[in-house]
Amino acid sequence: MKIALAQLNPIVGDISGNCLLILKATEQAVSLGADLIVCSELVVCGYPPKDLLLREGFVAACDRAIVQLSKSIPAGVGLIVGHPTHWNVPSNRIANGASLVADGRVLATVHKLLLPNYDVFDERRYFRPADRIAPIQFHGMRIGLHICEDAWWGEPDTFHHTDPIHFPDPVADLAAAGVDVLINVSASPFAANKPARRESILRRHTNRYKVPFVFVNEVGGNDDLVFDGHSIVLDSAGQKVSQLKSFQSDLEVVDLKQLIPLPEAEPDPVPAQLLDALILGLKDYMSKSGFKGCVLGLSGGVDSTLAAYIAAEACGAENVHGIMMPSRYSTGHSVEDAEALATRLGIDAQIVPIDAVHKAYESLPIIGSDLAISRAGLADQNLQARIRGAIVMIRSNQHGWIPLATGNKSELAMGYCTLYGDMAGGFAVLADLYKRDVYAICHYINEVRECREVIPHNVLVKAPSAELAPNQFDQDTLPPYPVLDGILEGLIEREESIATLSQSFPLETVRWVATRLDRNEYKRRQMPPGIKLSARAFGSGRRMPIVARFEIE
């Protein structure tokens, strides 16, 4: 049997548009001789649909779409497609399902058994797990169809226990029932190095059960999640025989009778993975939201520099609008570095000095007196950031461009950012990148991706500074970024204690960072959405109380 892997980029809620994508992929696959087309998890409605699932009529519309798809594909051809469903679920509840359709009929529907309820996943809120899982048949083959998390049984950091009484291993049950091929349809979001982890999980199954494994994943950005695709086929010995493109829609047909191993290839380095995820995430957030252009402040610093590069790659340089907003404390090289970047990227960049507006605030009754209490103090520094934020928002409102916030994860963790200032925006491009990652990606761009100095050299070597006060540098307020990022990774990604982290970092520094991290939760609750890149991103995957008094030891 020839199986087509259809790696598609759906839009959440766009049932008719997603079905057109499926039919177009089916047409292409049939022209290539495919007998069976396999699409990703919940592709009919897009993943994650969240509370759209609770809206009256939504799931029923998805079920009707499956029936219509069954009548729209050529005779003799099968299509496996993921969708939420009321079919075979008691009390009109919802299942995360995948159906096999052919010859105008729905031949079989399977339900997801293991419902993830960790990190960004909240599937127990919506879905009822399968009562059982069993092979389905098509063209004389027994197919072990299962959905995403069903292949992750026993993996660390997942929601379910390995107790077979309460949480059986779906793949083991399918293999025990006898299958000719295992097929997993997924909506597995990207995180750094996750493609390699998924591949090792699939190889574990092929090594154990000695049958080929077909894995089809969603691709594209939906809100804060980006899906890398990376769909693959392994033969019964665990060798890779097909690898679809990462971070773009793709389709490939594999003949199960002729599985030829691919040459071994090194995975992309982490900076390349992160950059591709950022570009796709921003591109889809803008296009699926109806934005053509974007606007951002260009400070001449490394964060806004990287954000501008990502924006130019995501929506085209002609659609990126930068604003250089020097203050009385700005250094000459800030504007020069920003101008050099704009020239190299070919983006629009305008200079709007803010000192006149700053002086206007200083002349106001009461406000001027408050600012005079501490020249270049916190209120004055935040005022400058808010003036800049207001200027960006004016251009956004007037021209319909999405405003981009450019703060990184290190700054957001420490509250080294200003509400309604540099945090203002419709999308926070770098919100899940530590400062070290920002530098690593910039070096990768110059040295590998572009093979030329797109990111100005001075941006990469000068000391980071907000330039909101005389001779101000980040390291006057924060620990050195290599130290800070190491501590933050332990606190955020691994939830380590102060005692554990103090074995690697100075105790007082760890205490200070931990306290600042907790105290600035209120700021992060008001930040724009950003792209999840790590195991624990701020937002839906890390849900901390704002008002709390627990102090870790």
From first to last of the 553 residues of the chain, give the pLDDT tens digit: 999 999 999 999 999 999 999 999 999 999 999 999 999 999 999 999 999 999 999 999 999 999 999 999 999 999 999 999 999 998 889 999 999 999 999 999 999 999 998 888 999 999 999 988 999 999 999 999 999 999 998 776 665 444 555 678 999 999 999 999 999 999 999 998 899 999 999 999 999 999 999 999 999 999 999 999 999 999 999 999 999 999 999 999 999 999 999 998 888 899 999 999 999 999 999 999 999 999 999 999 999 999 999 999 999 999 999 999 999 988 888 899 999 999 999 999 999 999 999 999 999 999 999 999 988 899 999 999 999 999 999 999 999 999 999 999 999 999 999 999 999 999 999 999 999 999 999 999 999 999 999 999 999 998 877 767 776 777 778 899 999 999 999 999 999 999 999 999 999 999 999 999 999 999 999 999 999 999 889 988 887 878 877 776 6
Active-site pick, 62, 112, 283, 532: 112
The pTM (predicted TM-score) of the whole model is 0.93
The residue type of 342 is A
User: Quick one: how far is CA 223 from the chain centroid?
Assistant: 8
Taken in order of first residue, the domains within the chain and their CATH numbers are 2-259 (3.60.110.10), 273-471 (3.40.50.620)
pLDDT for 162 equals 47
Residue 493: DSSP 8-state = I
Active-site pick, 148, 294, 417, 442: 148
Whether the Cβ atoms of residue 85 and residue 128 lie closer than 8 Å to each other: no
Task: Of 397, 430, 400, 416, give the one whose Cα is nearest residue 528.
Answer: 430
The sign one gets for the Cα dihedral 414, 420, 422, 425 is positive
* Residue 315 appears among annotated catalytic residues: no
Strand ranges inside 419-551, DSSP E: 427-428
Task: Of 139, 196, 197, 203, give the one whose Cα is nearest residue 171.
Answer: 203
DSSP, residue by residue, 116-154: --STT--GGGTBPPPS----EEETTEEEEEEEGGGG-TT
* Residue 294 appears among annotated catalytic residues: no
**In Å, how far are 143, 221, 290, 524 from 529, measured between CA atoms?**
39, 12, 16, 10
Strand ranges inside 71-122, DSSP E: 78-85, 95-102, 105-111
* Residue 155 appears among annotated catalytic residues: no
Give CA–CA dist 69/76, Å, rounded: 14
Q: Which residue has the tokens 């402040």?
A: 297
Q: Kindly report, residue by residue over 456-510, the tens digit of the pLDDT.
A: 999 999 887 776 777 677 777 889 999 999 999 999 999 999 999 999 999 999 9
Give CA–CA dist 272/503, Å, rounded: 32
Spatial neighbors of 107 by CB under 8 A, at least 6 apart, are 78, 99, 100, 101, 136, 138
pLDDT for 546 equals 81
Q: Kindly report, residue by residue over 461-471, the tens digit of the pLDDT.
A: 988 777 677 76
pLDDT for 545 equals 79
The SS3 assignment for 239 reads coil
pLDDT for 160 equals 47
Mark 388-406 as b/e (b = at least 16 C-beta within 10 Å).
bbebbbebbeeeebbbbbb
Active-site pick, 41, 252, 313, 489: 41
Helices 170-177 and 194-209 cross at an angle (nearest 10°) of 30
**In Å, how far are 269, 271, 537 from 192, measured between CA atoms?**
9, 9, 12
pLDDT for 311 equals 98
N residues, the chain: 553
